[in-house]
Amino acid sequence: MIHGAIHPQPTPLQQSSRVVGNPAPSTERDEVIQRREVIAPAVSAAEPRFKGTLQAVTEILRRNAVPMSVREIVEQGGTALPTRSRTPMTVVARDLAMDIKNKGEASAFVRTAPGRYTLRELLVRRAAPISDAPAAVTYS
């Protein structure tokens, strides 16, 4: 180590943290965490955070009551989805697929088409009036 070496200038993030009164990040990891906090918007009281991805997806699907693609789910979920992943669509798709695979018929979700999902309860409700229709007429 060279004595009297010039220390690098603090980054703008470090300078702003000093102005606010927060201690400067001690490690690169702390700096990354602080950068995420600055970039990521805080969740407002109007958008409650859900405990899990599947709970958030359940609320979104129930609110819309139609089969939705994973992209539509993520767009409507916005910051209410609890994932901090850079690819939230992958997280939602994985969680839905694993829930359906592991629980089978007991899963709350149904895949209606590749990449499209709905709630099983909504699928059953929508199908109920159709079963009450009169039988088809056959000609001999």
The model's pTM is: 0.55
Reply yes or no on whether the pLDDT at 19 is more than 50: no
Residue 34 has a pLDDT of 60
Residues 35 and 61 in one domain: no
Taking a C-beta distance cutoff of 8 angstroms, is the pair 118, 129 a contact?
no
Residues 118 and 57 in one domain: yes
Give the CA dihedral 103, 105, 111, 117, nearest 10 degrees: -80
Count of the separate structural domains present in the chain: 2
Is 95 domain-assigned? yes
- Range scoring the smallest mean pLDDT among 10-14, 42-46, 47-51: 42-46
Domain hosting 103: range is 53-131
Residues 127 and 80 in one domain: yes
**pLDDT digit string, tens, across residues 78-121:** 888 888 889 999 999 999 999 999 999 999 999 999 999 999 99
* Residue matched to tokens 């004595």: 3
**pLDDT digit string, tens, across residues 57-90:** 999 999 999 999 999 999 999 888 888 889 999 9
